[in-house]
Amino acid sequence: MHPARPTGLPARPPDPRPDLSWWGWGDPALVPALPDQLRTLLAGELAVGGGLARPDAVDLPPPRLERAVFIDVVGSAQVLDEDEARLRHLRGKSTPDLLRLRLGDVSGVPDLVLLPGSHEEVFELLRVCSERQIAVVPFGGGTSVVGGLEPESDPFAGLVAVDVRRMNALLELDERSRLAVLEPGLRGPEAEALLAERGYTLGHFPQSFEYGTLGGFAATRSSGQASAGYGRFDELVLSVRVATPAGTLEAGRAPRSAAGPDLRQLVLGSEGAFGVITSLTVQIRPAPERRVYNGWRLPSFSAGLEVLRRLAQDGPLPAVLRLSDEAETALNLARPGELGSGGSGSLAIVGYEGPVESVELGRAGVGRALEAAGGVPVPGAGEGWAKDRYRAPYLRDALLDAGVLVETLETVAFWSSVPRVYEAVSAALRESLSAQGTPPLVLCHLSHVYPSGASLYFTVACAQSEDPVAQWGAAKAAASDAIHATGASITHHHGVGTDHRQWFELEVGLLGVEVLRAVKSRLDPAGIMNPGVLVPPAGEEEDAGFSA
């Protein structure tokens, strides 16, 4: 895409931007204090005791690599070997990631952090790393929750994190086609601010929005809260440019091309296993005149599933459409400090975005469908959900401090299978954690809908055991087995990483695994790109249950 570049482009957001907390989520100042009443309730309901303390500091091994290797490529200031920089690029933000830090486990910490400023610099870094057998983990926002930032680096001479934060410009804007060319290091708010100045939006607001980057959204097939209205992020990407160890890959030059298989799909969801995304051409839309979020209480989760299915298939379809089960509804609508006092039923959150007239038409049509299903409005519930949307990860930090093991997982299935998947995964989580002596609270909501199916998002809370990492590992494996056995997918929007790789292998089959290995072999001959993430290493076939 080469439209005329408007005055003021390329444009970048103002610097500096704050980093994620290295021991938790986001800004440490926003971690809430748990009320004494809630602590008492947790101790009584879940038998929660003390938790692992937050680390004040951790000791890192010295870097195995010399800074001089990369200074000629990106400059001395962009090659970081300080402990804090390395620590901030260690793993992602899953609960096991944070618990391992609290236990003092810093295995897999990068030796150096590299900050390239262009496609050419990224490509040269990958060339140097290939020659010297140095593993590379592409790094955007650092928000992975599935081990996507934990490559298997032991066979290599070292590990570097290639952080694309300096590549954060709006490069081009084609208003006639409504396309924007953006760099991968832009965080969600930065991209939205640059587009909003020109009257546009991406409409992509995942819970990681404040810290996630556009490159990360593309590399994991991220899905935002308004996916019903705007689509998943991979649907917004019209073309992409990638620096690989073997050269530059550019895919996508016109909408709905029939010129062979769509090579964009090798990049979207590739999780850095083939190369580093260096620019994206994305679909944009006019910024909405109005955003409205409403809450509705439906008689039951099963009744809610039926009406959401009809809306997804027959319309009218709002921009945001979510449904909590009875347990999550009781928690969401509870009065402060009163766990589970929110009453019965199933809470739906419905959001509308766009011109004022279309928003009002949508509200009327959806409202009629929900009322026909027995739904009643819940004043303030929609606005409250929107207000607190990005605060939940901070609550997790506070709960971990208090001794609660709290984590999430998600899947996606066809409508005909959704009830079966919901029951099987819920049961697997309860049985696994109860057998370990820590009966859990299991919550679930439907967060993304399509004509053929929907995603299920589970939240689990229980008392931490003596080994909470192993505790969650057993529960997650049981849930993943249930997901696979019921025909659902191992992931809808969190990605594969290393955590899901075993079940991903079963999902795509032996031939699918071999295709991915062949692609990686061509684009990354030395195998340096995020090794072990997404693409299973050779020799795992027997462990994955494949037969000859």
3-state secondary structure 183-194: CCCCEHHHHHHH
**What interhelical angle do 95-102 and 468-485 show, nearest 10?**
160
CB distance 449 to 228 below 8 Å: yes
- Nearest of 343, 333, 338 to residue 35 by alpha carbon: 338
DSSP structure class, residue 112: E
Report the DSSP beta bridge partners of residue 292. 352
Q: Give SS3 for 167.
A: coil
Q: Is the peptide bond prior to 419 cis by the omega test (within 30 degrees of 0)?
A: no
- Nearest of 336, 345, 414, 340 to residue 44 by alpha carbon: 340
Report the DSSP beta bridge partners of residue 286. 200
Q: Distance from CA of residue 345 to its chain's centroid?
A: 29
Q: Cβ contacts of residue 458 below 8 Å, gap of 6+?
A: 408, 409, 410, 425, 426, 429, 442, 443, 444, 479
How far apart are the C-alpha atoms of 95 and 394, rounded to whole Å?
A: 12
Residue 49: predicted pLDDT = 86
DSSP structure class, residue 398: H
Residue burial 286-302, b: 16+ Cβ < 10 Å; e: rest = ebbeeebbbbbbbeebe
How far apart are the C-alpha atoms of 463 and 510, rounded to whole Å?
A: 39
User: Amino acid identity of 75?
Assistant: G
Residue 339: predicted pLDDT = 52
Backbone angles phi, psi at 480, to 5 degrees: -65, -40
Q: Quote the Cα angle for 137-28-186, to 5°.
A: 45
Q: Cβ contacts of residue 149 below 8 Å, gap of 6+?
A: 89, 90, 91, 92, 137, 139, 142, 161, 497
Q: Which two tokens stand for residue 424?
A: 């099987």
**Residue whose structure tokens are 């409005």:** 377
How far apart are the C-alpha atoms of 546 and 543, rounded to whole Å?
A: 8
- Where in 116-191 does DSSP place strands (E)? 134-139, 158-163, 170-174, 179-182
CB distance 404 to 463 below 8 Å: yes
Half-sphere exposure of 271 (CA within 13 A, CB side): 28
DSSP structure class, residue 489: B
Q: Quote the Cα angle for 385-93-104, to 5°.
A: 135
CB distance 227 to 214 below 8 Å: no
Q: Is the peptide bond prior to 451 cis by the omega test (within 30 degrees of 0)?
A: no
How far apart are the C-alpha atoms of 443 and 456, rounded to whole Å?
A: 10
CB distance 178 to 282 below 8 Å: no
How far apart are the C-alpha atoms of 34 and 20, rounded to whole Å?
A: 21
Handedness of CA 217, 189, 499, 443 (dihedral sign): negative
Helices (H), 325-458: 326-332, 356-372, 381-387, 392-402, 418-435
pLDDT tens digits in sequence order for the chain, 548 residues long: 544 455 578 999 886 667 788 899 989 999 999 998 888 889 998 999 888 888 888 999 999 999 999 999 999 999 999 999 999 999 999 999 999 999 999 999 999 999 999 999 999 999 999 999 999 999 999 999 999 999 998 899 999 999 999 999 999 999 999 999 999 999 999 999 999 999 999 999 999 999 999 999 999 999 999 999 999 999 999 999 999 999 999 999 999 999 999 999 999 999 999 999 999 999 999 999 999 999 999 999 999 999 999 999 999 999 999 999 999 999 888 654 555 555 689 999 999 999 999 999 999 999 999 999 999 999 999 999 999 999 999 999 999 999 999 999 999 999 999 999 999 999 999 999 999 999 999 999 999 999 999 999 999 999 999 999 999 999 999 999 999 999 999 999 999 999 999 999 999 999 999 999 999 999 999 999 999 999 998 877 655 565 43
